[in-house]
A and B are shown apart, each in its own frame.
Chain A
Amino acid sequence: MVADGTTARLPDVTPVQRITTWVRTNLFSTWYNTVITIVLLYGLANALVGLAGWIAQAQGWTAAFTNMKLILAWTYPNDQIWRPQLAVLIVAALLGLSAGVWRGVVQLVTIGAALTTGALAVPAVGLPEFAGTVGLPSWLVLAMSVALLLLGIPLGRRAGGWLRWGLIVLWIAIYPIIILVVRGGIGLPVVETKLWGGLMLTLLLAISGIVLSFPIGVALALGRRSRLPVIRIFCVAYIELIRGVPLVTVLYMGSLLLPLFLPGGESVDQFIRAMVAVTLFSAAYLAENVRGGLQALPAGQTEAARALGLNVVQTTFLITLPQALRAIVPLLVGQSIGLFKDTSLVVIVGLIDLLGAAQNVVGQPDWLGTPGGVWRETFLVIAAIYWIFSFTMSRVSKRIEDSFATSRH
């Protein structure tokens, strides 16, 4: 990379020369770099060959494969499985259209998602079908998602401006819509949250945490910067208390104390308990990010707004907050990655998320005969699932950060 800049300027180098120069400067520049390169090459080659060999001969892939329904949706009723599928398609359609309208990062994500989904659709053809399933075969859902993602781009591009606002409204409304589709109510039979699990639960929990913690976090951040001591102290105490303890303890509190806090000892669903805990936890971290954004804002912004005659509320919601939030978008994406990974902790309080489902699959008696068990294969599969999601998000965050950096200076 460094070398590209220097060699490109030389006018009369052949590609071969360019490659040799690059290799020399980047791999064999000094004697110790040469040693490092050789050792690493040897180690890498060995590791990759070993890994490839193991992947080819490992017998446990069937465990994750045959239990894909458990891993993705756990005990969500088979006769209702079309609902999460519909949710996936809705998101795919929205994402596709948005890619056309906004292009840039969104388009990149969409194309990436389409490629990944397309690649997954191929092995999905072999996934087992369950009796009584009301829904489409998984490969078809994936193929349709790819189609929606890719078709959306030209459609969105053509529609342009007017679609922009519609999409923004839809993106805001998407959370309740998805919850409605998946959970039911208003005509649809209710699927209790205790039947949820697997990747579905992981995603819904992470999204709920982010979405619901947003207003609380913003309120806490504003409260922490408030002039009124009572409110400030309360917000500081809350934020520091939550940030001082591990998420597990907050989840534990949620699962033990929340039912006690309600009158008459009503039962609170485990999912709701975890959701409340994750939201309260995430709000404290979000508040600190928002506060950072507010602090970074030049004081002139507030002063100018006040000078124009805007009152406090108007200044906050029209001038400072929008700018602060825009500035911390990369941080918020980073926090979402953290929360997405952290939802795996709900296993400890007894929910079955992606990790819980995998543990369950690993423990199935069917695999007792497999030498060495099926844990490596199963955990690798779900690690890949986690990885794809958080890696994508981290790239997005990087992109936005870079675009900010260029637009600002």
Chain B
Amino acid sequence: MRRSLVIPLAAALSLIIAACGGAPAAPTAAPEAPTTAPAPTAAPAAPAATTGRLETITARGTVICGVNNNPLPGFASVDASGVYSGFDVDFCKAVAAALFDDPSKVEYRPLSSQDRFTALQTGEIDVLIRNSTWTLGRDGDVGLDWSPTTFYDGQGMMVRKDSGITSIDDMDGATICVQTGTTTELNLADVFRAKGLTFQPVVFPDGDQTRSAYDAGQCDGFTTDKSGLVSSITLLSNPADHQILSDTMSKEPLGPSVLQGDPKWADAVNWITYATFQAEEYGITSANLAEFSASEVPEIRRFLGIEGELGKGVGLSNDFAARVIKHVGNYAEIYNRNLGPDTPFNLPRGLNALYTEGGLLYSPPFR
């Protein structure tokens, strides 16, 4: 019929262009976008092999931090004006404070439980601080590196007070709401199997949906990390009708994680985290930082970067700890601001106390 030669060729070309060219509409704007809060995404970074993540971030001027996409009050939530706050968010700010002496240099990337690790793997985010549990599988197969645990958590179970359930052993045959793509989902199955109990799962891809199904009575129990349960309870229609069982089904050490294979960046995040622990141990807070800066104790002078070159060793400025304390505070300040007695959660420190107070927080020495 037709001798169409050019047209199929054009077809082929446009297809290929569509296949690979569709994407790179990525912003090419300058790294400073004035009024519109978060700065542009793609720093035109050279491949990761040649430049470390730390240099990329420094050049970009902001750190991209993956946080929870579902509001998890106390850990990460956004208010109506788009401002992020919470325990996890404060650690994002700590990283920014250490790097840029400005806690606002964070670009938050809300992530679901399904795509949080992919985001790290593809380099979309620099660091993931999204109540993610440190497990061997994720450290190994998924290819992540975990920073010190900032919150020792464990999986718990919430039930209605009028259900008469006092422990998980009472829950044979119960329907349980759980979120998919989480270790919670796996632990739940393991624990019930180990106890020889049956249960009917109702599994949602989304934390909000899971909670709302439980709230509607579609499930007898609702399981997630206890920290999550504590903040969820404030979001139920009748918080007083519910209780969290004392059983703990798992160990859930939650902390920042970065992509494996960039030890320098991992070290930087590690020591920024440790700095908050160490500051609490020394008793340095954002309020009394000035007094400590005048301290003659060599240990403290080194820690705050007044003498010595400790920070340089991990690719940070020497006063990175002082910056973190100045802008975000020490661990106790972060904890109390978000989860402490003055918040609706009033969560006891428990394992999340310093080792000197019977907890598990322990920083290696800064020297």
Chain B binds chain A = yes
Q: Is the CB of A316 within 8 A of B2?
A: yes
**CB of B250 within 8 Å of the partner chain:** no
Let me know if A219 and B15 touch, CB within 8 A.
Answer: yes
The interface bits of chain B over 166-185 (1 if a CB of A lies within 8 angstroms of the residue's CB, else 0) are 00000000000000000000
The answer to whether A216 and B18 touch across the interface, beta carbons within 8 angstroms, is: yes
Measured between C-beta atoms, what is the minimum distance from A111 to chain B in Å? 36
Q: Which of A36-44, A226-234, A401-409 contacts B (4 or more CB under 8 A)?
A: A226-234
A267→B1 contact, CB < 8 A: no
With an 8 Å Cβ cutoff, the count of chain A residues facing the other chain is 64
* Chain B contact patch, size range: 35 or more
Is B14's CB within 8 Å of the partner chain A? Answer: yes
A226 near B8: Cβ-Cβ < 8 Å:
yes
Output the least CB separation between B182 and chain A (Å). Answer: 16
| Nearest neighbor of B11 in chain A, beta-carbon distance | A219
Given contacts A190-B27, A312-B5, contact A195 B10 (CB under 8 A): no
Q: Complex: how many Å from CA A180 to CA B168?
A: 57
A315 to B2, CA, bound (A): 9
Closest to A369 in B: B237
A-B pair number, CB within 8 angstroms: 161
Residue of A nearest to B21 (CB): A276
| Contact of A80 with B18 at beta-carbon distance under 8 Å, contacts A192-B27, A222-B7, A267-B123 already known | no
CA distance A258 to B18 in the complex (A): 12
B40 contacts the other chain (Cβ, under 8 Å)?
yes
Q: Tell me whether A272 and B26 are in contact (CB under 8 A).
A: yes
Q: Report whether A275 and B22 are in contact in the complex, using a CB–CB cutoff of 8 Å.
A: yes
Determine if B194 is an interface residue (Cβ-Cβ < 8 Å): no
A279 part of interface (Cβ distance < 8 Å)? yes
Interface of chain A: mostly helix, strand, loop or mixed: helix
Question: Which residues of B18-68 have CB atoms within 8 Å of chain A's CB atoms?
Answer: 18-20, 22-27, 29, 33-38, 40-42, 45-48
Q: Please, which residues of chain B bring their CB within 8 A of the CB of A216?
A: 14-15, 18
Name A284-323 residues within 8 Å CB distance of B: 299, 302, 311-313, 315-316
Instruction: Check if B35 sits within 8 Å of A77, measured CB to CB.
Output: yes
Interchain nearest-CB distance for A276 vs B (Å): 4
Name A350's closest neighbour in chain B (CB-CB): B112
A363–B212 CB distance below 8 A: yes
Which of A191, A227, A350 is the one whose CB lies under 8 Å from B36? A191
**Interface of A toward B, CB cutoff 8 Å:** 75, 77-80, 130-131, 184-185, 189-192, 194-195, 212, 215-216, 219-220, 222-223, 225-228, 231, 234-235, 238, 255-256, 258-269, 272-273, 275-276, 279-280, 283, 299, 302, 311-313, 315-316, 350, 359, 363, 365, 368-369
